[in-house]
């Protein structure tokens, strides 16, 4: 096979030796090959389909169940934990009123006026220890005072005061007021019944929004 009898475009194929039959066979072979199937397109679409299928399963598994798609949880154990929390039995909320009140007594600055030992300050702030406004059987009176405050002349344990006790009903929730009332009724040697968020809610609903009490308005409780 001489150099110049080689086909420049198709090396190895010698045009001079091609018979009619071999040309027909070659053409037939070429025609059988799929000409427009691009492997790039094929792999791209396979990758896309894989991502979509994977995405679907991923979403189903990790998005916290059908009705909780807003919650993203990655581990099956977390999903189970979350579900058990959702399905948890719900009873009434149980408050530790005394502990709530003990905490608020400091944080709500009662302590600054009525002092850490509840003795108040002579002539300025009345005591809570042994106070007839605190330890009476019915907790409604101290509840009313905490919700709406108290102003003007008052006698506590035989001593007179004329001050201004701020209202807490606007800033504190029912269970917090109940906590404070329960705490001051049961510390420093005071001993009286607990009150609850429901009790406070009832008093709150009854008195509504109102200005500070005067001792005179509350006098009937002390009879």
Which residues sit at the interface with ligand HEC, rule CB under 6 A?
108-110, 112-114, 125-128, 131, 133-134, 142, 145-146, 150-152, 154, 156, 161-166, 168, 180, 184, 215
Q: How far is the CB of 137 from ligand HEC (least distance, A)?
A: 15
| 96 vs 203: CA distance, rounded Å | 20
Contact 106, 119 (CB under 8 A): no
Q: How far is the CB of 201 from ligand HEC (least distance, A)?
A: 18
| 223 vs 212: CA distance, rounded Å | 21
Looking at the Cβ atoms of 16 and 112, the one nearer to ligand HEC is: 112
Q: Which two tokens stand for residue 208?
A: 């509504």
Looking at the Cβ atoms of 73 and 183, the one nearer to ligand HEC is: 183
Q: How far is the CB of 110 from ligand HEC (least distance, A)?
A: 3
Sign of CA dihedral 189, 192, 197, 199: negative
Looking at the Cβ atoms of 73 and 176, the one nearer to ligand HEC is: 176
Q: How far is the CB of 206 from ligand HEC (least distance, A)?
A: 19
Q: How far is the CB of 67 from ligand HEC (least distance, A)?
A: 43
Looking at the Cβ atoms of 63 and 115, the one nearer to ligand HEC is: 115
| 61 vs 55: CA distance, rounded Å | 10
Can you give the length of the chain in residues?
Answer: 223
Q: Which two tokens stand for residue 87?
A: 């399905």
Looking at the Cβ atoms of 180 and 200, the one nearer to ligand HEC is: 180
Q: Which two tokens stand for residue 173?
A: 């929730």
């Amino acid at each position: 096979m001489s150099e110049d009898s080689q086909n420049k475009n198709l090396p190895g194929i010698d045009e001079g030796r091609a018979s009619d039959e071999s040309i027909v066979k070659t053409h037939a072979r070429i025609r059988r090959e799929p000409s427009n199937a691009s492997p790039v397109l094929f792999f791209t679409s396979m990758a896309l389909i894989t991502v979509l299928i994977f995405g679907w399963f991923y979403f189903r598994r990790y998005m916290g169940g059908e009705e909780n798609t807003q919650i993203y949880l990655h581990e099956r154990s977390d999903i189970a934990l979350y579900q058990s929390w959702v399905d948890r039995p719900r009873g009434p909320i149980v408050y530790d009123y005394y502990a709530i009140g003990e905490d608020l007594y400091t944080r709500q600055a009662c302590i600054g006026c009525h002092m850490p030992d509840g003795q108040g300050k002579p002539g300025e702030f009345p005591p809570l220890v042994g106070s007839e406004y605190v330890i009476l059987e019915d907790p409604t009176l101290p509840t009313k005072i905490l919700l709406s405050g108290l102003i003007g002349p008052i006698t506590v344990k035989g001593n007179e005061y004329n001050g201004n006790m701020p209202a807490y009903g606007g800033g504190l929730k029912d269970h917090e007021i109940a906590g404070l009332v329960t705490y001051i009724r049961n510390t420093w040697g005071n001993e009286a019944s607990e009150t609850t968020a429901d009790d406070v809610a009832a008093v709150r609903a009854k008195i509504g929004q109102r200005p500070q009490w005067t001792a005179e308005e509350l006098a009937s409780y002390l009879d």
